[in-house]
Amino acid sequence: MACGYAKNGTVQWRLPLGLQIPWGIIMFIGLSTFMPNSPRQLLRHGKIEEARIEFIKIRRDLQSHEVHEEFALMHAQIEYEMEREVTSYKEIWRLYRHRALVSIGVQTMTSLTGVNVIQYYQSEFCEMGFGANSDRALAILYKSLGINSTTILALAGVYGTIAFLSNALTTKYLTDQWGRRK
Closest by CA position to 71, among listed 96, 88, 92, 50:
50
Percent of the chain whose pLDDT exceeds 70: 79
Is it the case that residue 135 has pLDDT exceeding 60?
A: no
Q: In the 8-state DSSP scheme, what is residue 157?
A: H
Q: Give the pTM.
A: 0.48
Question: Which of 42-51, 61-70, 117-126 has the lowest average pLDDT?
Answer: 117-126
Q: What is the overall mean pLDDT for the chain?
A: 81
- pLDDT at position 134 is 46
Contact call for residues 15 and 6 (beta carbons, < 8 A) = yes
Is it the case that residue 75 has pLDDT exceeding 70?
A: yes
What is d(CA 27, CA 18) in angstroms, rounded to the nearest whole number?
15
Is it the case that residue 79 has pLDDT exceeding 90?
A: yes
Q: Which long-range contacts (CB under 8 A, 24 or more apart) does 75-79 make?
A: 75/43, 75/48, 75/51, 78/40, 78/43, 78/44
- Summarised one tens digit per residue, pLDDT across range 84-133 is 888 888 988 898 899 889 989 988 988 888 777 766 666 565 555 544 44
What is d(CA 153, CA 166) in angstroms, rounded to the nearest whole number?
20
